[in-house]
Amino acid sequence: MKNTYFADLYYPADRDELESLCRTRVRDGHTPSLILLPHASLEFTHEMYQDAFSYIHNPHRIVVLAPIHGEKFEDDASASLFTLSSGDVETPLGPVGIREVEGLKVNDSYAEEEYAIEILYPFVALNSPRSTILPIFTKLEGKEDIQALSRLMARLKKEENDSLFIISGNFTTIAPSTEVNQMARTLKELLENNAPLLEAGMKKRISGCAYKMLEAARTAFPGQFRINQARCGQYVGETITNEADGRIWQVYAIKE
């Protein structure tokens, strides 16, 4: 059985407390093809996760993409995409099945360094227990890395129709609030128009760990995102707005 590393750091280790954050009410309908969720302590993000998992109906596979925030390990210098070895993870709410992604370098050390995939485990264990997680850690630099991820997403989508893709990422900048607000307006416009994100990121019109993964998803998942909730500082609402008073935009969005 695989270990978890971030209980009591990013989510409660106590079963009852954790279940109260993860319990959701299932909605009628079909599972979306792609969901964008932020990563942070469940204290701040659990309502977004609860709403997202109300749309999820035990898909056969949940492919989770997350960034590597720090440096890659020395032996991984030539790669940009990594996966975890297959096996079960025991969470306070039950086991979750992990399956490695064929063709990617396996490095379980990233599970100890990065929490963005692990915080999904309790939600899957409680609300989608028949689903298997395919984890992908990304360190995307330029267009070639993004194109490689896009091709991988298209392949995984084609292999198994009953798949949900979750991108775990934030939009972040260290800048004055006026600059943050301008980035928010740009991001809103780009997402609503399904417009390219990479050029805007390279020109620092947007920033964060999410936009390169989203750029990879554009060709594999054509169509517009529906933004369900966004938050920045004390602002919480149904859209990205210029009322931001913080440095991290956490956006929850769905693509059917």
What are 154's two structure tokens? 């298209």
Residue-level pLDDT at 145 = 95
**Coil, strand, or helix at residue 42?**
helix
**pLDDT of 34-43, one tens digit each?**
999 999 999 9
What are 80's two structure tokens? 């940009």
d(CA 205, CA 176): 14
Residue 246 pLDDT greater than 80, yes or no:
no
**pLDDT of 54-112, one tens digit each?**
999 999 999 999 999 988 887 888 889 999 999 999 999 999 999 999 999 999 999 99
Residue-level pLDDT at 96 = 97
Q: Report the percent of the chain where pLDDT is more than 90.
A: 69
Q: Class assignment of domain 30-255? A: alpha beta
Average pLDDT (172-195) is 83
Residue 20 half-sphere exposure toward CB, CA atoms < 13 A: 6
Directed axis angle between helix 42-53 and helix 15-22, to 10°? 50
**pLDDT of 107-164, one tens digit each?**
999 999 999 999 999 999 999 999 999 999 999 988 999 999 999 999 999 999 999 9
Instruction: Enumerate the domain spans of the chain.
Output: 30-255
Q: Is the pTM of this model over 0.75?
A: yes
Residue-level pLDDT at 256 = 80
Relative to beta strand 248-255, strand 34-37 is antiparallel
Asked if 136 contacts 101 with a C-beta cutoff of 8 angstroms, the reply is yes
